[in-house]
Amino acid sequence: MKDYKEAQLRKHLPDAVHFYSEGLKQKITDMKLKATLHCNRAHVHLQLKNYASAISDSLECLKLEPQNMKALYRLIKAANALEKWKVAIQYSEKALKIEPQNAAILKEREFAENGLIKKHEQLIKQKEQQRIEKEQPKKVVQLLKSKNIKIGTVEFQSAQFDQIAKETGKSDLGGLQIDAETQTIFFNAIFIYDQFRQTDFVQQFSEEDTIEEHLVELLEQFPFGNPEDNKKYTLNNVKVFYWDQKSKTSIRDRFVEVNPKSKLIQVLNQEQYYLPSNFMPIFHVVAKDAPIIKDFY
């Protein structure tokens, strides 16, 4: 029955706002009446969770009656609902000068103070996280250099892969992740099938994994060409290459063949190899008898 009555009361709250508003539109010479109308409308707004309007009406009332405890309480309550902790504390202090032992105001002030402390703690955490994120690329570059991995230019860009990188790690590091204990690097790697102009994406490619460990899984369900071409894309019938970035100033691109049994770190350590600047290793996979294979020699 109580819930029903509250529901019925809430149903009429918008009407109450309307009638108080109509009253305030009138030419009012009685300032006490005007203050009451604002204070009462603030109360209704508070019940409707129109917190900004509740604050506005409370302030209008306090202009006319600075010591109106109801207006002060409603303002503080609405400010806390909006997490305007400093506003709530400011007006709590004003209210407590009038009624130092007011339990409701003391409770709201404590709530605001706790909220302000939590906000301050969150800001400290955010700043620390921003500091870590700002420093992380430098630390990653230092770690790569310590592992004899050279950084080059961007080779391949894809909005889809960038989104995956963002979801799996730091987007500005190509989703690269580092095991804090072992300092092992896990990359997001791209395999390009130039014959079909298609790509595959491998997440969590450890520097200690071999190329063939991931390639064999990708080729098991090769989906890109016609059935005859797909049969040619088996581990024993493909060659793997990476682009020699030094050839970008040459007339013709040069590619370096990779032994699929090599660990990723072994490839990354090769003299000709430069890790793309988006930190995603890229490999080109071509069937040995594909017409396009001549472009890789």
Per-domain residue ranges for the chain?
2-118, 159-296
From the list 168, 173, 160, the residue with the least C-alpha distance to 199 is 160
**pLDDT exceeds cutoff 60 at 2:** no
Please tell us whether the domain made up of 2-118 is placed in CATH 1.25.40.10.
yes
Q: How confident is the model at residue 4 (pLDDT cuts 50, 70, 90)?
A: very low
Q: Which residue has the higher pLDDT, 168 or 203?
A: 203
pLDDT digits (tens, 9 = 90+) for 124-174: 888 876 775 566 678 888 899 999 999 888 776 655 555 554 555 454 577
Q: Which residue has the higher pLDDT, 265 or 1?
A: 265
Distances (CA, A) of 125 to 81, 119, 159, 191, 211: 23, 10, 30, 38, 39
> Residue 20 and residue 61: Cα distance in Å, rounded?
13
Q: Supply the pLDDT for residue 157.
A: 61
From the list 225, 233, 190, the residue with the least C-alpha distance to 211 is 190
Q: Which of 10-14, 161-165, 213-217, 293-297 shows the lowest per-residue confidence on average (mean pLDDT)?
A: 161-165
Q: How confident is the model at residue 5 (pLDDT cuts 50, 70, 90)?
A: very low
Report the range out of 23-37, 82-96, 145-159 with the highest average pLDDT. 82-96
Looking at beta carbons, which pairs linking 110-117 to residues 24 or more positions away fall under 8 Å? Answer: 111/80, 112/76, 112/79, 112/80, 112/85, 112/86, 112/88, 113/85, 113/89, 115/80, 115/83, 115/85, 115/88, 116/85, 116/86, 116/89
Q: Write down the architecture of domain 159-296 according to CATH.
A: Roll (3.10)
**pLDDT exceeds cutoff 50 at 232:** yes
Average pLDDT, the chain: 85
> Residue 221 and residue 233: Cα distance in Å, rounded?
10
Q: Supply the pLDDT for residue 102.
A: 96
